[in-house]
Amino acid sequence: MMVSIGDLTTKEIPQWCPGCGNFNIISAVKAALAKVGAETHNTVVVSGIGCSGKSPHYLRTYGFEALHGRVLPVATGIKLANRKLTVIGMGGDGDGYGIGLNHLIHTCRRNINMTYIVHNNGIYGLTTGQASPTTIKGTKTKSTPHGVIEQPIHPLALAITSDATFVARVYTGNLPHMINVLTEAIKHRGFALVDALQLCPSWNKVNTPEWYKTRIYDINKEGHDVTDKMKAYEKALEDVNTGYAKVPIGVFYQVQRPTYDDELPQVSKQELVEQDMRHIDLSKTLKEFE
Amino acid sequence: MAAFTWKIGGEAGFGIMGSGLLFGKVFTRTGYYAHIYSEYPSLIKGGHNTTLVRLSDKPVYLPPYTSDLVVALDKFAVEAHIPHLSQNGGLIYDSKDADLSNVQIPESVQLYDVPLLELAQKAGGDMLMRNTVAIGASLALLNYPLDQFNDIIRETFGKKGGAIIDININAAKNGYDYIKSKYDISKFPFKFAPNPNAQHKLVMTGNEAISAGAIQAGVKFFSAYPMTPASSILHYMASKELEHNIVVKHCEDEIAAMNMAIGASFAGVRSMTSTSGGGFSLKTEALGMAAMTETPVVVVLSQRTGPSTGMPTWTEQADLRFAIHASQGDFLRVVVAPGDVAEAFTLTQKAFNLAEKYQIPVIILSDKFLSESYSSVDKSELKVLPIERGKLITEDMPPLKPQEKFKRYEFTDDGVSPRPLPGIIGGEHVSSSYEHWENTFSTEHFETRKKMVDKRARKITLLEKELDPPTVHGPKDAELTLVCWGSHKHIVFEAVDRLNAEGIKVNALHFAFVHPLPPSAYEMLKSAKKLVIVENNSTAQFGGYLKEHAGVAFAGSILRYDGRQLFVDDVYSSTKSILEGKAKDIAIVDKEPVEFYTASFVR
């Protein structure tokens, strides 16, 4: 039985600020889940800590609100235990590109069959406005009153070099595009990173709707070949942080390769969670100790 | 028959530790018990390795200070181990490798100069085969036939093909024949006779017993990052992943390992992770998450010396308080410290049952001494426990009523709430690291916060009834009670036996469940006439814990924190000193030649 957007809605009132990009991300996730025919009981949304961390509470699915930066290992454990579940990870740019960046690289190369949406607003919102790994160099924030010194991270380029099989960027100001890309990401067999450029009206006064309006363009409308890794990499480096005037969105890279669990004979016949654990015969195993 | 100890020492890389296992198994297949203990420095290559094999017709669990027969593969081994030879002990060496002209050797020592390399080469082997020659020579001195050893060679090298088997069998025979032809073996005081009909005993390390216990308990997901002395759990689990359908993941770090294990458990499988103190430091944040989300998880913490990197290949019991208190906030967890291989097997299964029934993290506390030492056990000692999964809601149960969010954290009398697995219709909920309402939404409502803390805490009422009481060893009406925990069980028990044999009435109290305390422990501690704490750390961590929780006082302490576990001799002589009023708090230290510990003699 396919879910409707209504089935996915909880009565909990979102805690986000008015104008926050998270509202549209949640709307897009609901719409995409409905489009792919997901079921509420077979969907798990895993979040970390930050504004994005609240997401599971506003979706009537299973959820796990984990620790800051640890979305991906928790989601990996869930997916490997029961591959029948649709697993969606959500974290912010601090969560996924800062404290938890290590896990992103390894989850990319593992090709865990799940979707990871990074709510990338270029700032720490929940902790009231400190620089994040994607804050533009020079930006003055509470933790960088004299301006950020480091170069911002290039998450899509990082994911492509780490052999993620689906790498995309969306903009929370463009809901229809976001729904389409998220639908493709959830349908993708393998690890899908969706970097969601997110408005933060409370703390990010640089990347405003006006700022994005003149810069965003959809690379898929320009005949970008999503299977061309080098082209995808070039596009992934093409943003205002590297001297370009424009910010590309769309699907940058998509290829097929076996998922991590495809190469696990342990789960080829039955999910781990379905396997009999009450009749384990250790006699052969113990004999080796004689 | 008194116990007999064989020791082999030489440069790392020459199969010292493997030889110990092969030698021990000769006897555990023919009616004897063995304990096999190795020491090795934390060097990438080289250094001096030793393995002690203690044999007896009664169960043995630990190495003694003294050995009865030493195989010295180089001159340093002779110098290092001569002082630890027992009266009338024997030394097998090769005078071509070790010139003994400048080495002081007590007259009582019986020297067996065996051309180890020459006999190995005669069999078609090389330097690596000297151990095999030495085992053959040792068996000749014990007047023990070679048949069992030959069988073990065939099994061990079976996959590699015929030639290597023949070379090893011939090498062993060369050593055996050399001793029989050159020496009068009746002068060597130790002799063994095989019982070919005896049931083979199992020879396992603590880590193998923990791993086998986890497999028996139905573990389906195991994630870890290598760290001595826990790494062999990862290796063993990985070697069995296809045989028992377990997903074994070597993760990018310990943080990922812990979080993955929790994720897999949330999805409904039994999961485990293992590490040592440094890795456990990284796991602590997620340990608290397991507690807050009420997700079962089993964590093995195999201790080594700390703080920080410490001495990676040496042992200590100094992470007890860390395990009890790790992670922010008040929360319930169980810390269980098995005392031997059989307990490691059984209590690991129990750890999984407790974790799932009470939806809490359970920490299995081992250490290098238990984790890496081999012990023989009768198969019957490896008890299989029924699997208890607690209030799990699975697909074979009546369907749930659809609701907005399932009350995953429902207030119940016993504090344990029903737990639907993802995939169950109507069970949708968020497992949340935030404080939460019963229906899993986040809250900062004071009254609910307090009720949730109390709900999680009151699980202890039923839980503590399941904790095995401490084991008493020795006479009930003892003048003095030695209190110990974890790996030091048999070290203290054996010291108690020796003291009682001299008419000194002492007993021992061993705790496997160290936190929370089993309810019976309080009375047992209070009824003791005089308590002395025995621990492998510098601050008597468990002693302090007992003072705090049971209100007891200790008349003395026997501690050791130089990198080795306590030896029976330490406990025996220290207890005597305390009883005679000569000492109160004793810290043991070994004095070995300094080269023993450094790379400076690598050659």
Query: pLDDT tens digits for B225-282?
Result: 999 999 999 999 999 999 999 999 999 999 999 999 999 999 999 999 999 999 999 9
For residue B387, the chain A residues in CB contact (below 8 A) are 277-278
Give the B window 186-215 contacts with A, CB below 8 Å.
200-204, 208, 212, 215
C-beta atoms of B270 and A11 within 8 A: no
| β A130-131/A123-124 pair status | antiparallel
B426 at the A interface (CB within 8 A)?
yes
Domain boundaries, chain A: 6-287
Cβ-Cβ pairs closer than 8 A, A with B, add up to 194
B429 at the A interface (CB within 8 A)?
yes
Picking from B536, B602, B540, the residue whose alpha carbon sits closest to that of residue B565 is: B536
C-beta atoms of A77 and B259 within 8 A: yes
Arithmetic mean of pLDDT, A130-144: 94
Question: CA dihedral defined by B462, B463, B464, B470, rounded to 10 degrees?
Answer: 140
For residue A78, the chain B residues in CB contact (below 8 A) are 263-264, 266-267, 422
Query: pLDDT tens digits for B544-580?
Result: 999 999 999 999 999 999 999 999 999 999 999 999 9
B450 at the A interface (CB within 8 A)?
no
10 Å CB burial of residue A127 (0-12, 13-18, 19+) is middle
Which CATH architecture describes the domain A6-287?
3-Layer(aba) Sandwich (3.40)
Arithmetic mean of pLDDT, B494-500: 98
**Cα angle value B587/B540/B457 (rounded, 5°):** 170
Lowest mean pLDDT among A183-187, B383-387, B599-603: B599-603
Of residues B603 and A170, more confidence is placed in A170
For residue B223, the chain A residues in CB contact (below 8 A) are 77
Interface test with A, best of B32, B265, B266 (most A CBs within 10 A): B266
Q: Give me the residue from B253, B257, B268 closest to A82, CB to CB.
A: B268
C-beta atoms of A62 and B263 within 8 A: no
Q: Give me the residue from B202, B387, B405 closest to A277, CB to CB.
A: B387
Picking from A9, A31, A3, the residue whose alpha carbon sits closest to that of residue A180 is: A31
Looking at residue B602, its pLDDT comes to 40
Nearest CA in chain A to B374: A289
- pLDDT bucket at B595, cuts 50 / 70 / 90: low
B537 at the A interface (CB within 8 A)?
no
Nearest CA in chain B to A81: B264
| β B48-56/A86-92 pair status | unpaired
Query: Residue length, chain A?
Result: 290
Q: Give me the residue from B28, B201, B422 closest to A44, CB to CB.
A: B422
The CA distance from A203 to the nearest CA of chain B, in Å, is 23
pLDDT at B599 over 80: no
CB B495 within 8 A of CB B575: yes
Looking at residue B160, its pLDDT comes to 76
Q: Is A98 helix (H, G, I), strand (E, B) or coil?
A: helix
C-beta atoms of A41 and B425 within 8 A: yes
The per-residue pLDDT of chain B, averaged, comes to: 95
Arithmetic mean of pLDDT, B5-27: 93
Query: pLDDT tens digits for B506-535?
Result: 999 999 999 999 999 999 999 999 999 999
Nearest CA in chain B to A109: B252
C-beta atoms of B260 and A277 within 8 A: no
- pLDDT bucket at B447, cuts 50 / 70 / 90: very high
pLDDT at A251 over 70: yes
For residue B268, the chain A residues in CB contact (below 8 A) are 81-82, 273
Q: Give me the residue from A56, A67, A290 closest to B200, CB to CB.
A: A290
The CA distance from B209 to the nearest CA of chain A, in Å, is 10
Show contacts of B154-160: CB within 8 Å, 24+ apart: B156/B22
For residue A41, the chain B residues in CB contact (below 8 A) are 422-428
Looking at residue B566, its pLDDT comes to 97
Q: Cα dist. A93→A127, B161, B166, B373 in Å?
A: 13, 57, 63, 46
Q: Name residue B536's amino acid.
A: N
- pLDDT bucket at A1, cuts 50 / 70 / 90: low
Query: pLDDT tens digits for B264-280?
Result: 999 999 999 999 999 99
Query: pLDDT tens digits for B66-87?
Result: 999 999 999 889 988 988 899 8
The CA distance from B26 to the nearest CA of chain A, in Å, is 10
C-beta atoms of A272 and B264 within 8 A: yes
For residue B442, the chain A residues in CB contact (below 8 A) are 54, 57, 65
From its phi and psi, is residue B245 left (phi > 0), alpha (psi between -120 and 50) or beta? Answer: left
Give the B window 382-401 contacts with A, CB below 8 Å.
382, 384, 387
Interface test with B, best of A40, A84, A112, A272 (most B CBs within 10 A): A272
pLDDT at B598 over 70: no
CA distance B302 to B278: 10
B243 at the A interface (CB within 8 A)?
yes
B111 at the A interface (CB within 8 A)?
no
CB B384 within 8 A of CB B212: no
Nearest CA in chain A to B426: A41
CA distance B311 to A124: 40
Looking at residue B594, its pLDDT comes to 55
pLDDT at B418 over 70: yes
Q: Give me the residue from A66, A264, A273 closest to B259, CB to CB.
A: A66
pLDDT at B1 over 60: no
Query: Residue length, chain B?
Result: 603
Q: Give me the residue from B241, B249, B430 closest to A57, CB to CB.
A: B430
Sign of the torsion angle spanned by Cα atoms A183, A186, A192, A196: positive
C-beta atoms of B220 and A76 within 8 A: no
Arithmetic mean of pLDDT, A65-87: 98
For residue B426, the chain A residues in CB contact (below 8 A) are 41
Looking at residue B600, its pLDDT comes to 40
| β B219-224/B202-205 pair status | unpaired
For residue B439, the chain A residues in CB contact (below 8 A) are none
pLDDT at B285 over 60: yes
Structure token digits, residue B314: 């040496």
Interface test with B, best of A55, A64, A99, A107 (most B CBs within 10 A): A64
pLDDT at B113 over 50: yes
CA distance B312 to B229: 8
The CA distance from A145 to the nearest CA of chain B, in Å, is 30
| Global confidence as pTM | 0.97
ipTM: 0.98
pLDDT at B401 over 90: no
Structure token digits, residue A268: 């080829």
Of residues B97 and B458, more confidence is placed in B458
C-beta atoms of A289 and B204 within 8 A: yes
The per-residue pLDDT of chain A, averaged, comes to: 95
Looking at residue B486, its pLDDT comes to 98
- Within its chain, how far is the Cα of B78 from the centroid? 29
The CA distance from B153 to the nearest CA of chain A, in Å, is 13
- pLDDT bucket at B603, cuts 50 / 70 / 90: very low
CB B48 within 8 A of CB B70: no
C-beta atoms of A70 and B286 within 8 A: yes
B98 at the A interface (CB within 8 A)?
no
